[in-house]
Amino acid sequence: MVEGFHSAVRGEELPATSREPTADNAVAPAEANTTRTCAADDVSRKGVPGVTWREEQNKLDDPAAGEDATPPAPEPGDVAPDGTGGGSSIRRFLGGALAVVVLAGAALGAYVVWDSGARRDEPMPSSGGAAREEQNKLVMPDLPGSAEKDSGIDSVDDLPELNYLISQEIEVYREHAEGDADFLVQRLPSGSRAIVLLVTASSPSDAATAAEELRNIHLSNDATEAPEAPPGVHVTEFLDNGREQIRGHYGSDDVIVRLEIHNTSEPTVATADFENAIMSQLDAMPTDA
């Protein structure tokens, strides 16, 4: 019986002696049927009769080989029946998509907050920016002593209010200057008075021309030209009964520079003060010469 079972599994023909009962191995009909039924059941569990174990295994390995093949898994996004795992795949897909949306929203919110803070930190444009830039070109010298009260002079139109320039000088400024102006009066430790006037000209050539014309006005009013002066600076002196006035004019880019030292008692002190003051002014605003 054991030999017959293995032969059936391998699909071999049973020997005639195994199929035909003899007197020695005869079995009752009911018992024989029961035995054959059990053998057939075993064969059906192991494989299809007439098919080898290797062929049966190949069917299981190749889903397209027959009706008993394992059904294909659902594609991503397909709705699968309950119990096949499709619902879990959809939930995982939707959960991942929701996480991406949440992260994108958080990133957008952080950018909006950062951008708003950065914009608040940016300086607001001002219509007076150009005026401040022009004003910054007017650099006063670094002088010792103490400055007198601010005159409030801001532009060339304010020059007549100074009560400092004669009418001829004002005309020169009106012809060649336009824009900002600055004015300083400072009492020096020596007792001399330093007066500085800076006026923006229409162009560098206008600044140079105005400096020459102002020098000529002083020479026409009994002033003398100083024998020594820094290059590019027009220096004139006026001495009257111990009063010494020394003035220097020059152009620095598009700015007309005027510096005056006035001493009422000691002319030699005025000369020394002028030399120190004009060098400081040239450091702040060099001449174009």
* Residues facing 249 on adjacent strands: 234, 258
Q: In the chain, which segments carry CATH 3.40.1000? A: 134-284
> Are 116 and 161 a contacting pair, CB within 8 Å?
no
pTM of the model: 0.56
pLDDT in tens, 119-128: 555 555 444 5
Q: Which two tokens stand for residue 262?
A: 């006035």
- Residue 267 — pLDDT band, cuts 50, 70, 90? confident
Overall CATH class of domain 134-284 = alpha beta
pLDDT in tens, 203-229: 999 999 999 999 999 999 999 999 899
State in Å, rounded, how far the first CA of the chain is from the last one.
130
pLDDT in tens, 115-167: 555 455 555 544 455 555 555 789 999 999 999 877 789 999 999 998 899 99
pLDDT in tens, 85-121: 455 556 665 666 666 666 766 666 655 555 555 455 5
- Residue 276 — pLDDT band, cuts 50, 70, 90? very high
Counting Cα atoms < 13 Å in the Cβ hemisphere of 163 gives 2
> Are 194 and 146 a contacting pair, CB within 8 Å?
no
